[in-house]
Chains A and B, each alone.
Chain A
Amino acid sequence: MEDLRLEAKKKVLAIKDLPTLPQVLEEVSKLVEDPNVSTEKIAQVISKDQVLSAKVLKMVNSPIYGFPRRISTIQHALVLLGFNVIKGIIISTSVFDIMNTSMVGLWEHSLGCALASSVIAKKANLKDPEEYSVAGLLHDLGKVIALVQLPELKTEVEELVKKEDIPYYLAEKKVMGFGHDRINAWLVDYWNLPLRLKEGLAWHHQLGMAKHYPEVAAVVHLADFLTRVFEIGFAGDDQVSKLDGRVFKILKLSLSKFEEILDELCDEFIEISDLRPD
């Protein structure tokens, strides 16, 4: 098992090209051709796609730019990278050839989770809700990577989910010995992403492990749960994840605040269904 993990880690970190879905890529490509478009507008569109967002954050936090682990929002990343570099990233990004249904579902689930994270962070009066939204968006990035780099294992995981009717996360552990949260942790370290993103990406299934930014892990955990309750997208299984009651304590959320979150998500999630790529 240890060998398998080392082997898998090598494969995961060797990823050269993270493909994405065509719709957002096309939209951003058009935007960057227009010299009058604002970085806010481009940031808004890139923030809808976990792969483009991950690429942009990886680039801006690379030691070449001189400030690794500092930048955790897309808006800041775009200001610091500039149009030129964004264009380069867009040109270099390829598209998934087959419009895999599980990919589309995962795209929607991630977007839903980003939105839920932002709503929760605002209601919990946390500073910079944008950062929580990025953590929500990227929380299942490990699943995309596994899809590309470890396709054989991926099929096995999916079959186990169906056969035993267990959560994807547990099936990953049974088949590979580690879950997508572990893949996230490897990537975050390798790409020099900030610690606050790491805690959200690596510990959204194990809240107790987030020592520095427990709020980020708690927000993503709750957002993941709510996105599944509302059945937005598909994250690999039909289960509603088990909710860890500690989130309410960590985020100091009262029942009435929680109800406000549910109300707001009801409205916001309707809009997401309009974004679904054809």
Chain B
Amino acid sequence: MTQLEHVYPQACWNLFERGSRAIEFLFNNPPGLLLVDDSLQDIEPVELVGLFKSENVYRQVPVALILTEEKAKEIDFSLLEVDDFFLKPLNPIMAQKRLDLILSRAARALDANPLTHLPGNTSIIQKIQSLIEQKKHFALAYVDLDYFKSFNDKYGFSRGDEVLMMTARVIVNTIRSIGGKNSFVGHVGGDDFVFITDPDKVEQACQMIIASFDSIVPNFYDLEDRKRGKIISIDRQGQVREFPIMAISIAVIFNYGQLKHYGEASQMAMNLKKIAKKNPKSSYVLDRRKST
């Protein structure tokens, strides 16, 4: 590692000998690049990378491993979220060029949503289509926020973005805690999110997301609106209008092998969402035609 520091003096390096000491630092000060040497003693390098990369807020940080040949043979890179690796002993020119490459590649845009870094539309469609083609059973949920627009109008976009970041965290952590082989969370854009879980777990997921969202969202309003429990604003016609505190709506459709195409799934979900939206409070609607 100190060798790399010499090869690449233009970077601002922070070296840690113990992985456990690095974790809190990483969470608080995500670096431009994380390099993990496989000689770390106190924590498995693979575990350290997993801990860091599985958080949506840190996913954009490129991670590279520094490995011995033996170790490199053992590692299955399809299962590990790293972006590159170096072999020991390091070749200085190779190392320098590789660092250049990793950093510039990371700078290029991903499909990820620029705000939440969750997978965006391309990944969402690919994921759903691949599950359909594999005839997997799954529940697909479309999530959006009620009265998000009036919140944005009153408080401005950056306050709106705060709410979207919070919503993303609530969905991600709920889906992860519920588990399941095919679970997935994506961000379509704006206040539209998508998640996928096992069919038997989706109702519990909806309930947990609603409970968390409803209890946390009042914190995002100013004190007076929070006390009032609503926003009061005057529209362009000079009319006084009231908008309730934001709520979350979830529409869920199921695939038991009957779906042929992604488009079918999204059409069904859109229709269902209109029903969920009729309720001004947070609510979820399950597609009851699931058994047919």
Contact = CB atoms under 8 A, between A and B. Distances in A.
| A in complex with B | yes
Interface of A: 16, 35, 39, 55, 58-59, 62, 64-67, 70-72, 76, 79-85, 87-89, 91-93, 194, 212
Contacts of A79: 169-170, 173, 212, 216
B76 interface: no
Interface string B20-44: 1101110110100000000000010
The DSSP consensus for interface residues of chain A is helix
A84 B219 contact: no
B287 to A, nearest CB: 27
Interface stretch (B5-13, B50-58, B143-151): B50-58
B288 to A, nearest CB: 29
B243 interface: no
Given A80-B173, A82-B55, A89-B27, 4 more contacts: A64-B28, A79-B169, A81-B169, A93-B24
B225 to A, nearest CB: 14
A92 B24 contact: yes
Contacts of A65: 57, 165, 169
Contact of A80 (B116, B164, B170): B170
A70 B220 contact: yes
A66 B28 CA distance: 13
B23 A80 contact: no
A166 B30 CA distance: 45
Contacts of B55: 82, 84-85
Interface string B166-193: 1001101100110100000000000000
B169 A212 contact: no
B161 interface: yes
B17 interface: no
A89 B24 contact: yes
Contact of A59 (B21, B27, B54): B27
8 contacts: A66-B115, A71-B216, A79-B170, A82-B172, A84-B176, A88-B24, A91-B23, A92-B23
Interface string B154-168: 000000011111100
A89 B55 CA distance: 14
Nearest to A79: B212
A91 B20 contact: yes
A92 B220 contact: no
B54 A84 contact: yes
A95 B38 CA distance: 27
Given A62-B28, A79-B173, A80-B216, A92 B20 contact: yes
Contacts of B23: 88, 91-92
Nearest to B164: A66
Contact of B177 (A58, A66, A83, A91): A83
B94 interface: no
B215 interface: yes
For the side of the interface on B, what is the size category?
20 to 34
B220 A67 contact: yes
Nearest to B173: A82
Interface of B: 20-21, 23-25, 27-28, 30, 43, 51, 54-55, 57, 115-116, 161-166, 169-170, 172-173, 176-177, 179, 212, 215-216, 219-220, 223
A35 B177 CA distance: 8
B28 A80 contact: no
Listed residue (B24, B116, B166, B177) with the most chain A CB atoms within 10 angstroms of its CB: B24
B166 A70 contact: yes
Listed residue (B51, B165, B166, B170) with the most chain A CB atoms within 10 angstroms of its CB: B166
Contacts of B21: 92
The 7 A-B residue pairs whose C-beta atoms are closest, nearest first, are A66-B165, A92-B24, A82-B173, A67-B162, A80-B169, A88-B23, A70-B219
Given A70-B220, A76-B215, A76-B219, A87 B169 contact: no
A267 B43 CA distance: 45
A245 B134 CA distance: 71
Contacts of B219: 70-72, 76, 194
Contacts of B223: 212
A156 B30 CA distance: 38
Nearest to B172: A82
A83 B166 CA distance: 16
A83 B51 CA distance: 10
A82 B166 CA distance: 12
A47 to B, nearest CB: 16
Contacts of A88: 23-24, 27, 51
A92 B23 CA distance: 6
B151 to A, nearest CB: 13
Listed residue (A66, A87, A93) with the most chain B CB atoms within 10 angstroms of its CB: A66
A70 B162 contact: yes
Contacts of B172: 82
B280 to A, nearest CB: 21
A87 B24 CA distance: 10
Contacts of B169: 65, 79-82
Contacts of B216: 71, 76, 79-80
Contacts of B57: 64-66
B198 to A, nearest CB: 16
Contacts of A55: 24
Contact of B30 (A64, A72, A85): A64
